[in-house]
């Protein structure tokens, strides 16, 4: 186990150590101590290593993550795992706004609640939230899947493209062009698989599916009020 104590090591050195790990890395187990709300912890990683952060972080934890598996034993600030490409990021606590923003791949799990704009502009990332998500979540979501065991705030999936949204609890309101859709066998299977990977015991059949109505895909003057 490699230990990085942010009370002793500065952020640049910490990130440099983690970023220099590559595919054949000998050191696969890493622990970061004393994050104390610092920003940009463990960003730009690109190796199949396991990293545990003991405490809560600031903005952009695990930004642009590739391959690495991170677990944060605390809460995270805005933009966790933003633009993640692959790998796994698990937050034991809550996440602030923009969680998983523009993520291209990988799995982001939030065991507590996520704030507003969860999954904004998602581009292939999978996000599972055990708790609630805030307003404007999945705004302009292009692809990927979001599974929410709790409730969703206002304007869910506003201007949605092809991202798939599953919510078990109440949805305060749906955004422009986002509608409820039927749960098909392949959706139940997909939700089941994601919940398992996300360490959740929720039942897929309790979820509803939401997706794009696709009315904004090609402009129609008679729907101009929707824009």
Partner 1 sequence: MCGIVGLFLKDPSLEAALGRMLTDMLVTMSDRGPDSAGIAIYSKAAENRAKITIQSAHPDQDFAALEADFKTTFRQSLTLQRKNSHAVFEIPQNQIDEIRARMREAHPGIRVMSTGDNIEIYKDIGLPRSVAERFDVPLMQGTHGIGHTRMATESAVTTMGAHPFNTGPDQCLVHNGSLSNHNSLRRQLQREGVVIETENDTEVGAAYLTWKMQNGSSLGEALQSSLDDLDGFFTFVVGTKDGFGVLRDPIACKPAVMAETDQYVAFGSEYRALVNLPGIAGAHIWEPEPATVYFWTH
Partner 2 sequence: MNKPPETAAAPRTEPIQSATFTPAVNAEIRRAAATGIYDIRGGGAKRAVPHFDDLLFLGASVSRYPLEGYRETCDTSVTLGTRYAQNPIKLDIPITIAGMSFGALSGPAKEALGRGATAAGTSTTTGDGGMTAEERGHSDKLVYQYLPSRYGMNPDDLRKADAIEMVVGQGAKPGGGGMLLGQKISDRVADMRNLPKGIDQRSACRHPDWTGPDDLEIKLIELREITQWKIPIYVKIGATRPYFDTTLAVKAGADVVVIDGMQGGTAATQDVFIEHVGLPTLACIRPAVKALQDLGMHRKVQLVVSGGIRNGADVAKAMALGADAVSIGTAALIALGDNDPKWEAEYQALGTTAGAYDDWHEGNDPAGITTQDPVLMARLDPIAAGRRLKNYLKVLTLEAQTIARACGKNNLRNLEPEDLCALTIEAAAMAGVPLAGTSWIPGAETPF
Mark 123-162 as b/e (b = at least 16 C-beta within 10 Å): bbbbbbbbbbbbbbbbbbbbebbbbbbbbbbebbbbbbbe
Task: For CA atoms 21, 22, 24, 30, give the dihedral sign.
Answer: positive
Min dist. Cβ of residue 65 to partner 2 (A): 9
Min dist. Cβ of residue 63 to partner 1 (A): 16
Min dist. Cβ of residue 77 to partner 1 (A): 6
Nearer of residues 39 and 208 to partner 2, judged by Cβ = 39
What does the CA dihedral 90, 96, 102, 103 come to, rounded to 10 degrees?
0
Nearer of residues 120 and 163 to partner 1, judged by Cβ = 120
Cβ proximity of 116 and 138 under 8 Å: no
104 binds partner 2 (CB under 8 A): yes
**Interacting residue with partner 2 among 69, 111, 123, 168 (CB under 8 A):** 123
The CA distance from 173 to 202, in Å, is 23
Helix, strand, coil fractions of the chain, as percent rounded to 5: 15, 25, 60
Residues that bind partner 1 (CB under 8 A): 36-39, 56-59, 75, 77-78, 93-94, 96-97, 115-116, 134-135
**Interacting residue with partner 2 among 2, 17, 31, 143 (CB under 8 A):** 143
In the chain, the largest separation of any two C-alpha atoms, in whole Å, equals 62
Min dist. Cβ of residue 162 to partner 2 (A): 6
Nearer of residues 77 and 157 to partner 1, judged by Cβ = 77
Nearer of residues 134 and 144 to partner 1, judged by Cβ = 134
**Interacting residue with partner 2 among 23, 26, 201, 218 (CB under 8 A):** 218
Residue 1 interacting entry, from partner 2, partner 1, none, C-beta within 5 to 8 Å by type: none
């Amino acid at each position: 186990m490699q230990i990085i104590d942010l009370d002793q090591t500065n952020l640049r050195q910490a990130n440099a150590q983690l970023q220099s790990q590559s595919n054949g890395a000998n050191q696969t187990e890493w622990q970061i101590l004393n994050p104390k709300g610092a920003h940009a912890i463990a960003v730009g990683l690109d190796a199949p290593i396991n990293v545990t952060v003991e405490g809560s972080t600031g903005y952009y934890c695990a930004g642009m993550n590739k391959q690495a598996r991170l677990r944060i034993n605390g809460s995270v600030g805005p933009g966790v795992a933003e633009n993640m490409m692959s790998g796994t990021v698990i937050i034991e606590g809550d996440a602030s706004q923009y969680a998983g923003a523009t993520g291209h791949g990988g799995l982001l799990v939030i065991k507590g609640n996520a704030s507003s704009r969860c999954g904004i502009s998602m581009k292939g990332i999978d996000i599972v939230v055990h708790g609630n998500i805030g307003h404007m979540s999945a705004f302009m979501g292009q692809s990927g899947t979001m599974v929410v065991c709790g409730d969703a705030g206002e304007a869910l999936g506003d201007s949605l493209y092809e991202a798939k949204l599953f919510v078990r609890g109440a949805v305060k309101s749906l955004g422009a062009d986002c509608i409820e859709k039927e749960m098909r066998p392949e959706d139940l299977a997909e939700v089941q698989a994601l919940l398992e990977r996300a360490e959740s015991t929720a039942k897929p059949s309790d979820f509803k599916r939401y997706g794009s109505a696709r009315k904004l895909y090609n402009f129609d003057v008679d729907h101009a009020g929707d824009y």
